[in-house]
Each structure stands twice: as C-alpha cells, then as structure tokens.
C-alpha cells in the first residue's frame, strides 16, 4: 500500500490518480513499474484525448475541406505548435513528426549525412550511445567512405571530455551524443559539447529520448543543430516522435521519403517538394499520436519542472542509498549529475534471473544490454538490471523493490 503522500512538497498520490495502469495487478501483486526508460505510462488525459479523436474527430489531415478533416487538421497543427513551444523551438515548422527517436536519427543520417559526408570525414559519437545513435551513422559512413570515432567514457560513466577535445578535428562533420544515457542515467554536458563542436564547424545531433521526460529542454538556448526524441517516453502514445532541426539545415536537406503531402507539384518529368515541415512528412501521419503528444505536453505543462526534478532527484538518492548497502552490488554510472536511472549487477548473478523473479513479485525492471552493447563491452559485462523512475513512482515502491530484491538474492545466492 502506498501511504506516503508528499515528498519535497510533491503530491505523488494525486499524480498517481492520473495514471489508470498504476492500479493494475502484475502476477497477482500490485504493479510496481520501474521501467520508465523503456516507455512511460500514460495519464488518463492523454488516453481520453486519443479516444476522443477516434470517437468524434477521425479524419485525414491537410486533405479535406469538410468539417472533420478541418477539425483534425487544427488539432494536428495545434499539437505541433505546443510541442515547438515545449522544447523552445522558435518556429513550429522546424518540428518534424517521425515515428520516434530512431527514425529521427535515421532521417538526419540518410539526408544530411548522404548530402554532406564524404571520404575521410568523421562522425563522433560517445561510448554510451543507444544503438539507434550508432548504427545509422555506421551505415552512412560505410556508404560514403567516412568513419565513426568514439568518445570514451570514464569508469564512473562520465564522458572523457579531454579525449573528446582531442578527437574533435577539422574532419569531424557531425557529433552525435545522448543528452542522458538510457543505461547509466548520466547527464552529458551537451552545452559544452555543442560549443566546442561548432567552434570546429561540426554539426551536432542530440538524442533526447531520455531527457525530455526528466528535464526542461530548450533547443534554442542549447543551439543544437538537431534534437530527436520520442513521445512514448514522455507520457504520450507510442509510434510518434520529433526531430527538431535548424531551419537552414532542414531546408537544405533532401526529402527522406516520397509520397503524398510532401510534394508541391508532381509530373512524370519532375517533382517539386513542399515547404517545411511537410517536405519530411510523406503519407498519412500518426494523427492520433500527434494529438496525444500534444495532450502529453498539456499535462506536463501543469507542473513546475523544478518540482519534478527535485522529486525525482530525491527518489534517485533514496534508491541509490538503499542499493549501495547490498553486499556484492555494483552500480554502473556513479557520476553526481544523473537522471533517475540506476543500472546494477549483484555478484555474478545473471540479470535475467533477478528480473524474472522480481516480475513474479509484481515489479517491472529492465534486464539486458539496453540496446547499448558497446557500453556493456566497455565494462566487460553481459548486461545489467536497470530501474528507471518517473515522477509517479514513490518512496514506498522503492522500499517494496528493495525488500523484494533481498528476497530474490537469498534465492539465487
């Protein structure tokens, strides 16, 4: 039973009432959901908006003169404006809708990369990147004769900034880094990375999948060239994401896909393309997802970011302290500047065994390599157990998890 109502003045019990799934049972036990890094749960406000669209507003956008189409278009375009404001983009036309962070990064690699990379150029990524910010760059570099270089990480999980500066050179054309590591929770100094990259005339793309749900992001203040993130990690539906890009870069890039809505004029001899953002949004979009993402922004805008950050920091400190007291447990990613993510191993126990037994007790954690296999290789481990917290998690849930983990370890040792 969750009994503690407020921590740091944050009324978590009131917040939990907004998320219907938190009342469900898992294997007959009250659900303790600690896998927010993989996907977040959705507030009723978002669920209701998506349902309302399908119940009362369903039509295609930008195509019809009739009432429903105009209504759907207004909702769709309105969401783009909300999201642009939410991330500090000065123009809504620089916010492109994709299926998620993965497609956003692929879009940049396959358009900007194909247009700008050549033999002997370099793309600089970090040693903690998600596969979606590694593989697209490997693919386009292989095609163009360019190479991928890596910023190593220190034992505490932080980026080795000294080596970063050494490896940043006149051949570096793109720096691709995560704002927050999905595995370690480390918050990278992307302001410094962007500043130094720009001084070398390199572009920067930031993987913001893990940052947008936890910290206030302002792409204009950061001065990044591209910023990618997903809706489903920020309490919005799955299958919807965003790529922000500077206008001059987006206008210079060729389309990513061909089809309806991204065209200006089509003839059998030649096709001209639509203006931003439609040049990059071929075909019928995920209308319900976009509207749901707008609703998620409305929901998040009800809170003060300072309050969310302080509350999640308190959860992180509490969980870290409890885990550090367990004999044989090692946490990966121990820098002070972290989001509420903890990856750990206990002795030589396989993470899958821990995760499977925790599941039987109603506790959802992530196990495995978390789509960061090179990072696992860096630490010479097969994977970790990961808990990733959100502002609807509680101190009591952490206690339930810790008590269950003690029981699991007694079984496995």
Residues 228 and 104 sit within 8 Å (Cβ to Cβ): yes
- Taking alpha carbons only, the member of 178, 184, 124, 193 closest to residue 155 is 184
The answer for 138, left when phi > 0, alpha when psi is -120 to 50, beta otherwise, is: alpha
Residues 393 and 22 sit within 8 Å (Cβ to Cβ): no
Query: Three-state DSSP class for 355?
Result: helix
In this structure, the strands spanning 263-266 and 241-245 are: unpaired
The answer for 133, left when phi > 0, alpha when psi is -120 to 50, beta otherwise, is: alpha
Give the torsion through C-alpha atoms of 316, 151, 367, 365, to 10 deg.
20
| Helices within 122-246 (DSSP H only) | 135-144, 161-167, 190-199, 219-222
Q: Around 190, how many Cα atoms within 13 Å sit in the side-chain half-sphere?
A: 29
Q: What is the C-alpha separation between 121 and 385, in angstroms, rounded? A: 37
Instruction: Look up 380 and say whether it is catalytic.
Output: no
Q: From residue 340, how far is each of 16, 26, 303, 337 by CA, in Å?
A: 18, 23, 18, 10
Residues 49 and 42 sit within 8 Å (Cβ to Cβ): no
Sign of CA pseudo-dihedral 388, 354, 319, 327: negative
Element of type H or E holding 308: helix 305-324
Q: From residue 316, how far is each of 207, 215, 322, 409 by CA, in Å?
A: 22, 14, 10, 22
Question: Which residue pairs from 157-165 have beta carbons closer than 8 angstroms and sit at least 24 positions apart in sequence?
Answer: 157/128, 157/181, 157/184, 157/186, 157/332, 157/333, 157/334, 157/335, 158/186, 158/335, 159/126, 159/127, 159/128, 159/186, 159/188, 159/189, 161/189, 161/192, 164/124, 164/193, 164/196, 165/196
> Catalytic site residues?
371
């Amino acid at each position: 039973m969750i009994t503690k109502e407020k921590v740091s003045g944050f009324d978590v019990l009131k917040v939990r009432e907004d998320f219907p799934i938190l009342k469900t049972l898992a294997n007959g036990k009250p659900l303790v959901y600690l896998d927010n890094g993989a996907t977040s749960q959705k507030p009723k406000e978002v669920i209701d908006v998506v349902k309302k669209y399908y119940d009362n507003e369903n039509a295609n956008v930008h195509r019809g003169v009739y009432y429903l189409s105009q209504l759907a278009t207004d909702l769709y375009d309105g969401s783009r404006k909300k999201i642009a404001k939410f991330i500090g983009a000065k123009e809504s036309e620089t916010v492109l809708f994709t299926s998620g962070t993965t497609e956003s990064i692929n879009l940049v690699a396959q358009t900007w990369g194909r247009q700008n990379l050549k033999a002997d150029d370099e793309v600089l990524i970090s040693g903690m990147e998600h596969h979606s910010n590694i593989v697209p760059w490997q693919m386009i570099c292989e095609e163009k004769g360019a190479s991928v270089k890596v910023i190593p990480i220190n034992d505490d999980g932080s980026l080795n900034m000294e080596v970063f500066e050494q490896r940043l050179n006149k051949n570096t054309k793109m720096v691709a880094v995560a704002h927050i590591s999905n595995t370690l929770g480390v918050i990278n100094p992307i302001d410094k990375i962007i500043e130094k990259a720009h001084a070398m005339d390199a572009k920067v793309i930031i993987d913001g999948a893990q940052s947008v749900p936890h910290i206030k992001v302002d792409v204009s203040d950061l001065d990044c060239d591209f910023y990618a993130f997903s809706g489903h990690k920020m309490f919005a539906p799955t299958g919807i994401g965003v790529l922000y890009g500077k206008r001059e870069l987006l206008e210079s890039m060729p389309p990513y896909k061909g089809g309806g809505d991204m065209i200006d004029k089509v003839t059998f001899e030649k096709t001209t393309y639509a203006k931003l953002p439609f040049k990059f949004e071929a075909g019928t979009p995920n209308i319900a997802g976009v509207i749901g993402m707008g609703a998620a922004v409305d929901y998040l805008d009800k809170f003060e970011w300072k309050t969310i950050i302080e509350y999640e920091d308190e959860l992180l400190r509490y969980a870290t302290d409890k885990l550090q007291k367990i004999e044989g447990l090692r946490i990966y990613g121990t820098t002070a500047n972290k989001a509420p993510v903890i990856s750990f191993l206990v002795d030589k126990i396989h993470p899958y065994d821990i995760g499977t037994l925790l599941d039987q007790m109603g506790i959802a954690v992530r196990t495995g390599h978390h789509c960061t296999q090179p990072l696992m290789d860096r630490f010479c481990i097969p994977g970790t157990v990961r808990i990733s917290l959100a502002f609807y998690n509680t101190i009591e849930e952490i206690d339930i998890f810790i008590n269950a983990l003690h029981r699991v370890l007694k079984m496995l040792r």
